[in-house]
Structure 1
């Protein structure tokens, strides 16, 4: 029989023999987080907040109790996580490392606002903003958010380079429009920092229209900046879109490689199917994608062709 700490670790991480229990727990937590977000948004409407104050308080209290229990349990079982399996650090040091990991910090932020109100007076609007950060807890369960965060991580150097170029163009655009429009519109382009508002709105192609050049040369300069901005904004967007697709391709390739390894002896055992299911969930792949990868590997292994609709064997 597995120790209780290891069982809890498998449930919280959705792995091993308790993978199904972990999936149920994830679904429950996602539901609680969703209820919290809806409650926080509705609570910002004063009439609703006054009418259902007691209900909102109970939602907050129960949610914080559940999130606090989850956080404490995750810290306790962190020594049994796969990422620390080969670590030579002590249990205390492993737990400290886990506490400062990104996901653990998000879990802490989810419960921190409630406990802050017990010791200090916090502005209600500021408190709501902090509580709304609970939405980031969904990154643990959202495939899209995981892919996006991984894309940011892998393309960080390219994105920093793109944002550096945009910062340079922002400063040049601010200086240029300041020189061209300062004498005509001193109240709007009275300084380079003031001109940055126009430059930012133009470079991001938002174009609020509250500050615009009125001189002919200023309009020409603004048009050039607008054209440049369309290309500049597309750079980080293109980088993220490309990286997002690459992340999906890599995850599918990892799963396909694992299927190929598992089929080395010609068939999949129950233990191997369980491991593949765990890997599928960790990679955020759908069952359709996983089944397609398994069929493709079976086709390669046995030179068989499977119907993509019903899965029946066809003549090769």
Structure 2
């Protein structure tokens, strides 16, 4: 086994000697990084704790930078890994730190750049890199993605039509809340998703009647995509259960 195989199998938790120890260590760093982001927000944090968090941040970024470089070096197709879902996740996990270093000396407002550090949370997705549950979700999405996309387009059309209608009903009564159709789209989105913040609502009788009708439509908008994915997951689980119950076939024998 050459060094590339050693490194690749160690990172993926399949090394014959190290087993899952390297993979579990990386997962522990992922969790630590996510928890440290919350600790950083505590008020009146002691100076020594701030220093420790800053130093540990550099160490964690260094480890994941090395991991990303090693995955690129050992991947059969480095470009394919870089463009893959988890390749992008690995890159986004370290990019905010380096972006902060690049823009730090330009005297710019770095609040937006510092906000990119929140992308470190995508490292948590790596915890599920090899779980069968993620595989099932991926298979379910592939099975129903065309239906979900078509339904999503239809939902956007319904959203816009509802905004057009409620604008006609409510603009004269509430010219500030429903100043334009695009302002009405906020109300339509909140209503169709059944969130209902209550910051904008109809006051006319016909607007209220229309809202009640919209709520019935909203039930379908929420339920149909969920039902599609749930049905696909159930079919995949049933198929896996049937394959587990199926006895192995005896090897074929030559009767001649």
- TM tier, smaller: 0.7 to 0.9
How far does residue 251 in structure 1 lie from its aligned partner after superposition? 4.8
Other-structure match for 1:99: 82
Other-structure match for 2:107: none
How far does residue 48 in structure 1 lie from its aligned partner after superposition? 3.1
How far does residue 19 in structure 1 lie from its aligned partner after superposition? 5.6
CA distance in structure 2 between the partners assigned to 1:112 and 1:129 by the alignment: 11
CA distance in structure 2 between the partners assigned to 1:159 and 1:49 by the alignment: 49
Q: Secondary structure, in 3 states, of the residue corresponding to 2:45?
A: helix
Other-structure match for 1:54: 51
The 5-angstrom pairing of residues 47-196 of structure 1 reads 47-48=44-45, 52-79=49-76, 94-121=77-104, 122-123=110-111, 125-196=114-185
How far does residue 12 in structure 1 lie from its aligned partner after superposition? 2.4
Divergent runs of 4+, >6 A:
254-257
The number of equivalent residue pairs is 246
Q: Secondary structure, in 3 states, of the residue corresponding to 1:5?
A: helix
Contact 2:160 2:185 in 1 (8 A): yes
Contact 2:12 2:23 in 1 (8 A): no
How far does residue 60 in structure 1 lie from its aligned partner after superposition? 1.0
Is 1:8 aligned to 2:7, yes or no? yes
Any stretches of 5+ residues in structure 2 without a counterpart?
Answer: 105-109
Any stretches of 5+ residues in structure 1 without a counterpart?
Answer: 80-93, 266-316
- With structure 2 as the length reference, what TM-score do the two structures score? 0.85
Contact 2:8 2:74 in 1 (8 A): yes
- With structure 1 as the length reference, what TM-score do the two structures score? 0.70
How far does residue 119 in structure 1 lie from its aligned partner after superposition? 1.5
Other-structure match for 1:231: 220
Contact 1:205 1:229 in 2 (8 A): yes
**Deviation digits for residues 57-85 of structure 1 (CA, Å, limit 9, x no counterpart):** 12212211221221111112112xxxxxx
How far does residue 100 in structure 1 lie from its aligned partner after superposition? 1.7
CA distance in structure 2 between the partners assigned to 1:184 and 1:223 by the alignment: 19
Change in 2 beyond 3 A, CA 1:113/1:220: same
CA-atom RMSD in angstroms: 2.5
CA distance in structure 1 between the partners assigned to 2:17 and 2:239 by the alignment: 25
Change in 2 beyond 3 A, CA 1:150/1:120: farther
How far does residue 264 in structure 1 lie from its aligned partner after superposition? 4.0
How far does residue 131 in structure 1 lie from its aligned partner after superposition? 2.6
